[in-house]
Chains A and B, each alone.
Chain A
Amino acid sequence: MNDFVISGIGDAGIGYHTEFSALELIAQSTLHACADAGIPVDAIDGVCVSKTVGLAPGDRPALEVAEYLGLRPSFIDTTLAGGAAPLIQIQRACLAIEAGMCSRVLVAFGSTQASSRQRSLAGHVRAGDDTRRLEQLAGLPAPIGIAALAAARFMSECGLTPEQLASVAVAQRRWAQHHPQALRRDPITIADVLGTPYVASPLHREELCMVSNGAGAVIVERAPGATAGRGVRILGYGEAHSHFSIFEALPLTSTVASTSSAAAFAQSGLSTDDVDVVQIYDAFAILPPVLLSDIGFCERGEVGEFIQAGETSPGGSLPMNTQGGGLSHCHPGVYGLFLVIEAVRQLRGEALGLQVSDAGVALCQGSGGGAFGGSQATVILGAA
């Protein structure tokens, strides 16, 4: 996989209000990414777009985006796997290029869900949909309910304290305070977080990702890319899928990120010791502790203390979510691409906020799809 790079990145519309449609925001992101990669837009011959809010009817997002950009791709992908999808699509892009189907692939995502107010705690309940009916029968809001149950179990089984869970939000806010795009920048303390109301115990309001607009795009192509020296290398990749519904989501205290990251480490020949910065999916504050443990950065019984001690905060030994993550930066419904975009910026030495010094290797972990992380994708990136 060392033969492939992310040669361009772009984003647009990060915020709560926008005059633009999701399609326009995706297009703006793409234009930025192409300029960054030093390629004309019509050099793109592969298009990957996952589920978005704001496209209509929204069931053929890659085609809709391709047409709007004036493209006729020889490769498309519309993988649906929640927050893991954009990372999966980066790998699919490499496979397609390797197979000779295309040369320059766009992976994009965007939504106007804040403006459309389309995300609800109850999900989208439809008559005849058994899983949703069972969730409704149990009064379990999706997706926060299963995350709350996961947090409660992690506390019970692994000793995570409410203060340690709150420190995930506090640590990420420390990065966001310095990031010009981050939508939540006010400093917060553990007491502030614990003082916000429960949405579903033990998750407090400040421990949930926000609902915002936002779009992002990356270009994947063979090394070195048109602007040699700026292409960030894709060193390793892995994915794993364990389940779809809440009924197969136990044990809740771990996910198959262990499997996806093991494959990525094996392919790259690297280990956790080699990673300088991590971007970990954080729809809920409980996700980073679970995923850091799954990947092997920490023991499950020690990860809370690790985060509370500041090891993932600015100045710590494992910089994590350096833009603030879904808790502080933005969250348009699928955050996966923003993990990659921030990792690329850090590896190029072009961080918009605080720069991790000598960032040579970044690990991105996308989680989603099945209830509480049923799909996992790991992308390991290296500086050019």
Chain B
Amino acid sequence: MTGMTPFWEGLERGAFVVQRCRECGTFRFPARARCLSCGSSDADWQEASTAGTVYSTTTVNRAVFPDIPPPYDVVVCQMEIGITFFARAENTLPIGSRADLRMVREADSGFIPFFVAADRDPADAL
């Protein structure tokens, strides 16, 4: 069992689960031994808000990973909960725009996190 197990288990059921300090409520990702804000090592894991702001984006043009055919977009967002998160994106999202992290079920692979534009209709299938 690794320190990141609650995240991976959450992902398996399509949830975004993040480590949170029990002392001061600060979220942190990936798992850490101590809170980056208050230093406490008392923490649990919670489902967290998936809202963020696009910090940067790149289009990968090579088949780097066998199950991801190029070209595809990767985005890094500063999340509302105060962490940084990287994920694929269905389209190029403008830097500075609001985004939402969606868990998308892929055949055989379980759920994959994807960033979409925040105003994307939740009923829209990806």
Contacts and interface: CB of A to CB of B under 8 A. Distances in A.
Given A139-B60, A200-B58, A153 B30 contact: no
Contacts of B3: 130
Interface residues of A, number: 33
Contacts of B64: 121-122, 139, 141
Interface in B69-126: 72, 74, 76, 78, 83-88, 95-96, 112-113
A136 B3 CA distance: 18
A123 to B, nearest CB: 9
Contacts of B86: 134-135, 138, 140, 246-247
A369 to B, nearest CB: 18
A57 interface: no
Contact of B60 (A134, A137, A145, A150): A145
B65 A200 contact: no
Interface residues of B, number: 32
Do most interface residues of chain A lie in helix, strand or loop, or is the interface mixed? helix
Contacts of A197: 61
A139 B56 contact: no
B56 A137 contact: no
Given A130-B2, A145-B74, A152-B95, A122 B65 contact: yes
Contacts, number: 92
Interface string A184-213: 000000000000011111100000000000
A149 interface: yes
A294 to B, nearest CB: 18
Contacts of B33: none
Interface string B23-59: 0000001110000000000000000000000011111
Interface string A220-259: 0000000000000000000000000111101010000000
Contact of B56 (A128, A141, A248, A252): A252
B74 A247 contact: no
Nearest to B66: A122
Contacts of A202: 58
Given A156-B95, A247-B29, A138 B87 contact: yes
9 contacts: A122-B65, A138-B74, A138-B87, A140-B86, A141-B62, A141-B65, A152-B58, A245-B30, A247-B86
Interface of A: 121-122, 128, 130-131, 133-141, 145, 148-150, 152-153, 156, 197-202, 245-248, 250, 252
What 8 A-B pairs have minimum CB-CB distances, sorted nearest first?
A148-B58, A138-B86, A153-B56, A149-B56, A141-B64, A201-B59, A130-B4, A156-B95
Given A139-B60, A140-B74, A250-B55, 15 more contacts: A121-B62, A122-B65, A133-B8, A136-B65, A138-B74, A145-B74, A149-B57, A156-B95, A201-B58, A201-B59, A201-B61, A247-B83, A247-B86, A248-B84, A250-B76
